[in-house]
Amino acid sequence: MRLGVLDVGSNTVHLLVVDAHPGGHPHPMRSEKTQLRLAEHIDAGRLTRAGADGLVRAVARAKAAATIAGCAELVAFATSAVRDADNSAAVLSRVRSETGVGLQVLSGEDEARYTFLAVRRWYGWSAGRLLVLDIGGGSLELAAGRDEDPEVALSLPLGAGRLTRQRLTHDPPTRRDIEALTDHLEATLTPVAHRIRQAGPYELAVGTSKTFRSLARLAAGAPAGTGQRARRTLTDVGLCQLFSFISHMASPDLATLDGVSPGRAHQLVAGAMVARAAMRTLPVSELEICPWALREGVILRRLDTLGVPATSQRPWPLTDRRPDAPAA
């Protein structure tokens, strides 16, 4: 079947179209992104009219693209930017009314669970007990476990975009801002790291999503042209060396580096600081970089539920709809 997954994140609205079947490897057919920076349109806790307008337009374009691509279903979800908005219910109602797409807001814990599932499927059972880290624009997800459903799944408001807006207000950031953020990250992550360690030792530590991919590439990892299956890692030593370099650079200069998109360049320093703090507190000396993350986890979970009665399903599948279905 051809399946569309629409991910409304803090930075982008991303449509991924795949050909897939239960038990098979999802084959990407099309990928489209709209850089909306939705989190920057939250004012006094509410998503602004301009932000909501942009979201409606982006979702409408994604739905049209999914229909043209021949998707049998469109699974649509939103993460921290919509989750954090006080008026999210009204915005979601408007999106459904004007586009026919029902966006489901994922909790941070479910983000961690879907991402963990994707990582588990990518590395397989032989990888043993996994520790998975995912730095997004609005939040940091952490999960650990031996099975496909993690024993620990946590979400913290430590996204690269959020911390940049709230705590790194200079470009490049000042030493005082960096020191203050370092202390904040240490204080927030230390008890969480203790909880994860108590759950048991990991055998493979993994980082997913754009921030970790960019950091690994900049820290002498395999370039993008080597393909999805090329092994990429990020070490604590390499990350510290990289941070000493990028922390003195302004966003326009960061945007010229290999693998750093102009729209995310201003978040790179904060992302590196979150990665560095997480690796230090857990502790982790090396992360494998997994090309699969949240969207792939959603796809895999949807495929798992095909043909399974709703009463027999586990409690965390997303609701699906045809991309051309009318609004409810």
Residues 6+ away with beta carbon under 8 Å from 17: 2, 3, 4, 5, 28, 29, 30, 31, 65, 66, 69, 71
Q: Which domains occur in the chain, in start order? A: 2-105+299-312 (3.30.420.40), 108-290 (3.30.420.150)
Q: What are the Cα distances from residue 320, in Å, to 40, 102, 278?
A: 28, 9, 34
Rounded-to-integer distance, Cα 53 and Cα 47, Å:
10
Each residue of 165-206: pLDDT tens digit?
A: 999 999 999 999 999 999 999 999 999 999 999 999 999 999
Q: Reply yes or no on whether the pLDDT at 286 is more than 70.
A: yes
CB contact at 8 A, 318 and 299: no
pTM of this structure: 0.92
Each residue of 141-167: pLDDT tens digit?
A: 999 999 999 999 999 999 999 999 999
Rounded-to-integer distance, Cα 101 and Cα 86, Å:
20
Nearest to 122 by CA among 299, 274, 284: 299
CB contact at 8 A, 111 and 294: yes
CB contact at 8 A, 102 and 178: no
pLDDT on residue 12: 95
Token output for 159: 């996204």
